[in-house]
Each structure stands twice: as structure tokens, then as C-alpha cells.
Amino acid sequence: MLKSISLPAPPGTISWSGGRMTLDAAVLLLTLLAYIFCGPILRQLDATAAPFDAGLLSALAFAAAAVLAASLLARLLTAALAQYAKAVMVEPLNLMRPWQHLYLFLGLFCLFFCGFMLVLIALL
């Protein structure tokens, strides 16, 4: 059976720490606020701005918020699957090999991500 050995992460490894997720959530909140208030802010800066300008700025802010939301949800899902996979792959209860577990979790992640993208497309 596989044994858990605590080794330091190799250089260049992506860290899934809570600090990074907090930063992503804060940036996502800022882009959502920019999406909501871009029209009034633009009117304060330029009273002669056309409605097209506010619409274009709100579309850019919404696209940035959608990309950040997808990134944050992918990071959260990957962290959750990695914690579950770590617990399951140390002492497997069935006859699956570790690479089969990896394919199973990767397929599950891809299905969740595709489902999220379909919901995002439906909302757009």
C-alpha cells in the first residue's frame, strides 16, 4: 500500500492555499462592483459619454468577473478533490490502481468544470 511521506513541494508547484483563494475572491468582488457601478462612475468622469461606452465597460467587467469566478471555482474544486484523493489514495479500499483513481478524479473535475461552463453560457 502507498504510504504518506511528507516532503516539501518542488519549486514551481502551484500552492492551493487559502490566502490565494481569499485574494481571488476579493478581486472577484471588486470586478462585480465595477460591473454594477461602471455606468454611474463613467457618468461622473465624463458627462458626454454615450450609452455605448457604459455598456462596453460593463461587458468588459462582466467578462473579467466570469473568468475570475471560473478560476476560483476551479481552484476550490481542485483543492476539494485533491484532499479527497489524498485520503482515498493512501489506503485504497478497492482494487483500483492509483492511476485509475487519478483518471476518475480528473474526469469528475472535467465534468464539473464543463457543467459550470454550460451554466455560465446559459446565464450569458
Count of domains for the chain: 1
Domain range for 79:
18-123
Is 12 inside a domain boundary? no
96, part of any domain: yes
Reported as a single tens digit per residue, the pLDDT across 17-67 is: 556 777 878 888 888 888 888 888 888 887 777 776 777 888 888 888 888
Cα 77 from Cα 117, distance rounded (Å): 14
Indicate whether 9 belongs to any domain: no
97: left (phi over 0), alpha (psi -120 to 50) or beta: beta
For position 76, what pLDDT does the model report? Answer: 81
pTM as predicted: 0.53
pLDDT digits (tens, 9 = 90+) for 53-96: 777 888 888 888 888 888 888 888 877 777 776 666 655 556 77
